[in-house]
Chain A
Amino acid sequence: MSETTSNILAQDSLSRKSLAFCGYTGYAAIILFIIGGVWLGGMLPPIPNANDAPAELVAKVNDNLLNFRIGSIFMIASFALFGTFGAGMAAQTRRFETSPVFSYVQIVFAAAGTTIALLVAFAWSLMVFRPDTYEPSILLMWADFAYFLALFSVPLFGGWCVLIALPIFFSEPGREPFPRWVAYVNLWAALLFAPGQMVIFFKDGPFSWHGIVAMYLPFIAFFAWIAIMSWVMIRIAHDENS
């Protein structure tokens, strides 16, 4: 039985291509976010700040209206690909399970994470839809909502990482879905996401949703995690011995 499961990828070129595809969608998600969130959308670095007066935020939005709108489209494309990225990892975990458990759990968390991310892009787009019609404080709420979805969701995104690490640790040596170092990288990623939980207490400083510890660290760590896991999936797909 161990021979069939471990050689499945060697014999099944569709599975190989599918896994590589999922890995490449991870790269695509990063590139789309760099265009939509970093370059155009003003999400990272954050153009809004948690301690902006509502009128200040309205002014910032109006100054960047077209860029933010186009950025929102790129962002939603990026975030939709979290689904393919996450499913790929779950599929690879599934190959090493006799009956699925962690692969199911990962699918749940990938689906939830993708939904949360999509809502981030929705919030951002609503913030820039009709900024002069909404009460200014509603715009502030959309900005708060976007960052809270992304940052305050540590048990979800951090949990997802832990749930990738656990089946690796629980596996028999030599029969792990991913190499052991991947488990440690996922634990480190979860650790780096953790400060995001602090955004509820602060509207300024390093632990606010525009702060270096609670925002920059988790955001950068998250996309670095996507890059690493995508690379791993592509490598497994191309490795004849996996």
Chain B
Amino acid sequence: MSETSQTQTRIPGEPGIWAFVTGDLLVFSLFFILIAIGNQEQTEVFSSARSTLDLRFGLANTLLLLTGSFFVAIGVERYRLNDGRDNRIWFRLAILSGVIFLINKVFEWNAKVSDGLTPMTNDFFMYFFVFTAIHAIHVFVGVVILSFLHKKSQAQFTAETQRGLESGAIFWHLVDLLWIMLFALFYLV
């Protein structure tokens, strides 16, 4: 298979990663529906619980993941350009953003628990803790994947490696997208 040129349009990554992303989105759609139903049926509980969330944590996390996605995109693009530069820094920065996100999350959960707010407090906090925890696991897996990408990005250019980097990046962008949805549903709505 010949190396694809920049001008040729093709779908980045490989079909499997898109299938996986679709599956993950389906599962999270179930979660979003559950939050929406809760919001509808227990509007008072949800809105008063929502007001106790610290928007600064939420915003910081959103910015961290968006920036991380930006770095990953640059890293993948630079690899494509194959101009001999060391592209690992971009993946390192993305890993850093993921790690800070996780640390931030721990602080946020800790703050809530110290205030006596736990997954058992009410349905809003049940969904909040459970879904942000499941998302945090995705962030952790994403960081692990980024560390593989970091290593791969040093390698000699091959179309196969490019697809591998793109697939990993697609997963990271999914993690970002899921957070944006959760941020909107928990902190903003």
- The size of the chain A interface, using a CB distance under 8 A, is 19
A194-B137, A207-B126 known; A173 vs B160 contact (CB < 8 Å): yes
B36 at the interface (CB under 8 A from A): no
A213 at the interface (CB under 8 A from B): yes
Question: Which residues of A lie under 8 Å from residue B123 when comparing CB positions?
Answer: 205
Q: Decide if the interface of chain B is mainly helix, strand, loop or mixed.
A: helix
Partner among B19, B30, B134 whose Cβ is within 8 Å of the Cβ of A194: B134
Interface contact B126-A184, CB-CB below 8 Å: no
Q: How far is the CA of A55 from the CA of B110 in the complex (A)?
A: 38
A interface, CB within 8 angstroms of B = 173, 180-181, 183-184, 187-188, 191-192, 194-195, 198, 201-202, 205-207, 213, 217
The 7 closest A-B pairs by CB, nearest first: A184-B16, A188-B23, A184-B20, A181-B16, A201-B119, A180-B16, A188-B20
Q: How far is the CA of A202 from the CA of B160 in the complex (A)?
A: 45
Interface contact A202-B119, CB-CB below 8 Å: yes
Q: Would you give the shortest CB distance from B37 to chain A, in whole angstroms?
A: 10
B interface, CB within 8 angstroms of A = 14-17, 19-20, 23-24, 27, 30-31, 34, 119-120, 123, 126, 130, 134, 137, 160
| A180-B14, A202-B119 known, 4 other contacts, Cβ within 8 Å | A195-B130, A201-B130, A202-B126, A205-B126
Residue of B nearest to A205 (CB): B126
Q: Would you give the shortest CB distance from B140 to chain A, in whole angstroms?
A: 12
Interface contact B17-A184, CB-CB below 8 Å: yes
